[in-house]
Amino acid sequence: MMLKEMQKLPEAVQLIEKASMMYLENGTPDTAAMALERAGKLIENVDPEKAVQLYQQTANVFENEERLRQAVELLGKASRLLVRGRRFDEAALSIQKEKNIYKEIENYPTCYKKTIAQVLVHLHRNDYVAAERCVRESYSIPGFNGSEDCAALEQLLEGYDQQDQDQVSEVCNSPLFKYMDNDYAKLGLSLVVPGGGIKKKSPATPQAKPDGAASTAAEEEEDEYSGGLC
């Protein structure tokens, strides 16, 4: 029975989409939006890609009605599904749309959180430049400069740039990051610096040894192999 129901879901969603178009044509956008959102919830676990499309359509309906709070809530659902599906390029664009709306309705603290989400997505795309740009552009948001979000992001970017896995992990394990929406918290916990943090995580020598001593063990090993080959 469950399998049959699942197989009928795409057909049901298609019918709901048609109904929502009729609602729009008849001047009842609220009912259209409710129908589209319901369709998104129905299909989310079966076809996340279709659910993203439905949530984005719902957001557009709300935005056209200047109901920005409802619009941004639906965009948030779409963004999280995109992140879950590791569709990071699309997720970055979706989060930027969210951030623009939160800025428009002057919900600045949520803009800070969206900047964290953006940075995590860009770093998972291996695009440090885009991540840094997001932080730099956020300085224009009232209250961002000097916030704990700003300080944490600067520390994160510094650690990532210096390939310091310890510093990156410390930031991403902080309450600020861990208590974000689960999809973003997971991005933080799984973030690995370029090169896997080898430079910082695996020092070759104890601190007491002078510079240049780091390569001694490797050189001795190389000599041993070269001696064996002769």
Q: Is the torsion defined by CA of 24, 29, 34, 39 positive or negative?
A: positive
pTM, two decimal places: 0.80
Query: Could you read off the pLDDT of 77-99 as tens digits, one per residue?
Result: 999 999 999 999 999 999 999 99
- The C-alpha atoms of residue 195 and residue 198 are separated, in whole angstroms, by 6
The string of pLDDT tens digits covering residues 162-203 is 999 999 999 999 999 999 999 999 999 999 999 865 554 444
Report pLDDT for 206. 44
Asked if 75 and 98 count as a contact pair (C-beta separation under 8 A), the reply is yes
